[in-house]
Copies of this chain bind each other. A is one copy, B any other.
Amino acid sequence: MREEGLISRAQNTWCPGCGNFAIQHAFKNAILELGSEGLSLDEVVLVTGIGCHAKMADYFNLNSVYAIHGRAVPAAAGLKIADPNLKVICCVGDGDAYAEGLDHLLFAAKRNMDMTIIVHNNRVYGLTTGQYTPTSPLGFRGKSTPTGTAEPPFNPIALMLNAGASFVARGYTRRQDQLRWMIKEAIMHRGLSFIDVLQICATFFDPHEVYDRMVYEPEGHDRSSIESAMRLASEWDYNSESRIPIGLFFQGERPVFEDRFRGVRPDIPSRENKIGMFLEGRR
């Protein structure tokens, strides 16, 4: 199937102007570059939740697990347990990963599993036609909250730093080059890579004017320091109209959970024997 190129024959059904196109584009180029640098595309698996973002699974001629809403991350973890060498990338939504399945996200960070999580953070439920998500601003009027929400957003960058992710970044769909670069770095990083991508939703929530005005790439930021990363993270609370730093906030090194399964090989032929010995001991 991949002979046909990286983009599959599936019909694209995102709205015109949707920020998902930008992520798709950056992702495609990142993969192509990694491919030309020697990465075997056979070993890439794209895992998604359910939502507009998740159509990524259909659109690429790559191994994919088009999972269920909120549960991409544990499915990805299972793949890594099976084969620690796989390059597993989760494309998840903000409703998906910050609401329905938040726990899994934090546990992937805690375990520092060697995979990449890209959150298509349009700050709205796109596919279910526009309800607030955990990163929608306070007072957001969505279809489930027509008079405005009564809860301020999470700061996922801070949460993931706290939970132990070893690569934490924020992207913006209208900063294509940086996004591509970040996705590449994330995939190559050994450990849990997390990118919160500010994505515009053309139909239900499009703050691109604010983003265009507010995003900036901090200079002289020490990426190896959790403290500086935390400080950077707290510059924007996903709510107020303040400056929004984008880029790689933190990159560190620590043991990877699935390494304990590296080299584990089930010795099937000798199993009958071992079972026999076990039972013998129980006589």
Contacts and interface: CB of A to CB of B under 8 A. Distances in A.
A64 to B, nearest CB: 25
Contacts of A153: 110
A154 interface: yes
Given A159-B159, A159-B163, A162-B159, A151 B230 contact: no
Interface size class of A (residues with CB under 8 A): 20 to 34
A163 B160 CA distance: 11
Contact of A257 (B107, B112, B150): B150
A221 to B, nearest CB: 18
A106 interface: yes
Nearest to A100: B103
Nearest to A164: B152
A271 interface: no
A257 B138 CA distance: 11
A153 B106 CA distance: 11
A19 interface: no
A158 interface: yes
A274 B158 CA distance: 47
A154 B150 contact: no
A77 B155 CA distance: 22
Interface string A237-275: 000000000000000000101011000000000000000
Contacts of A163: 154, 159
Nearest to A255: B150
Interface string A89-108: 00000000000011100110
The 7 closest A-B pairs by CB, nearest first: A102-B103, A103-B103, A111-B151, A150-B260, A158-B162, A150-B257, A159-B162
Interface of A: 101-103, 106-107, 110-112, 134, 150-155, 158-159, 162-164, 230, 255, 257, 259-260
